């Protein structure tokens, strides 16, 4: 069925209740590749709570993307096989605790029609709040529905992407992914078979399962954590990235980073295939 613009814009789902523990926090950190070096104390702080020398478990800022997995404004009736993540923009209002009961309020922000055979872009927002009702994070997701264009909706007005500097990168970081990384990351909530089922992936137009875009998003957060944030989660105020091409599990992601004041711009590539997988990346530190 074609998209019904008015119905889609009216979707909202308020007061959704969720809870998570340190198990989910550690699983997410491991799912984006942290802890690969069992002697790296800075990364172990995100995947191990400490025993002989107790320490508070650190929470990767982008854990916010799975803390209320499944939260959303409602059923959008899209062609699931053809839907991919387009962009994610998370604003962090306060550091996420290592365990919490939270609520999520979700609404649709925009729906853009790119034209028949060109797809549609749906932007929706989820606000996470703690038990006191205070904001933890605001998530804005852009979903690219490749098979749902041509419904007659607006085509103009999409936000302009962040522009990275034209100068040479200030830092370059290589981050390896594991061949089984998508199978681990999916345990954080995203069971889309595009990332685990070879037959489904081929039906969607890929030669084999691809890594979750949101796993790549988390990897870029990890890249900023280890370079300009000194592994301080509380330094993150915003993290934005556009997904331009998929990563295949086992590939190495090369991040190029530029720092201007409290803004870190970044892009990410897979050099082995000469493709850019993340564009217009921006982290605001403070």
Catalytic positions, written as ranges = 190, 195
3-state secondary structure string across 27-65: HHHHHCCCCCCCCCHHHHHHHCCCCCCCCCCCCCHHHHH
| 189 close to 69: Cβ distance less than 8 angstroms | yes
Residue 151: exposed, middle, or buried by beta-carbon count in 10 A (0-12, 13-18, 19+)? middle
The CA distance from 131 to 207, in Å, is: 44
Q: Based on C-alpha coordinates, what's the Rg of the chain?
A: 19
Ordered strands of the 83-92 beta sheet: 12-20, 100-113, 120-129, 135-145, 83-92, 236-243, 275-285, 263-270, 252-260, 171-176
Residue 205, classed as helix, strand or coil, is coil
What crossing angle do the helices spanning 22-31 and 213-227 adopt, rounded to 10°?
A: 90
The string of DSSP letters for 240-261 reads EEEE-SPPPTTPEEEEEEEEET
Separation of alpha carbons 93 and 139, rounded Å: 11
């Amino acid at each position: 069925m074609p998209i019904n613009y008015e119905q889609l814009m009216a979707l909202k789902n308020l007061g959704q209740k969720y809870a998570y523990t340190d198990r989910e926090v550690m699983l997410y950190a491991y799912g984006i590749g942290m802890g690969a070096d069992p002697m790296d104390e800075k990364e172990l702080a995100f995947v191990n709570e400490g025993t002989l020398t107790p320490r508070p478990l650190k929470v990767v800022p982008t854990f916010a993307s799975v803390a209320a997995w499944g939260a959303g404004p409602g059923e959008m009736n899209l062609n699931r096989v053809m839907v991919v993540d387009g962009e994610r923009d998370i604003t962090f209002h306060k550091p996420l605790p290592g365990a919490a009961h939270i609520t999520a309020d979700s609404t649709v922000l925009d729906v853009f029609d790119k034209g028949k055979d060109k797809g549609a872009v749906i932007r929706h927002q989820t606000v996470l709040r703690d038990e006191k009702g205070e904001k933890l994070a605001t998530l804005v997701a852009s979903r690219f529905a490749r098979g749902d264009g041509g419904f007659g909706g607006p085509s103009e007005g999409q936000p302009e992407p962040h522009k990275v500097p034209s100068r040479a990168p200030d830092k370059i970081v290589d981050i390896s992914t594991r061949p089984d990384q998508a199978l681990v990351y999916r345990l954080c909530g995203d069971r889309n078979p595009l990332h685990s089922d070879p037959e489904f992936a081929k039906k969607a137009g890929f030669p084999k399962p691809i890594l979750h875009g949101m796993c790549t998003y988390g990897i870029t957060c990890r890249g900023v954590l280890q370079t300009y944030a000194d592994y301080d989660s509380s330094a993150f105020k915003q993290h934005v990235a556009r997904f331009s091409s998929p990563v295949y599990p086992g590939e190495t992601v090369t991040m190029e980073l530029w720092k201007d004041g409290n803004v870190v711009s970044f892009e990410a590539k897979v050099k082995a295939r000469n493709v850019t997988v993340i564009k217009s990346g921006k982290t605001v530190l403070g």
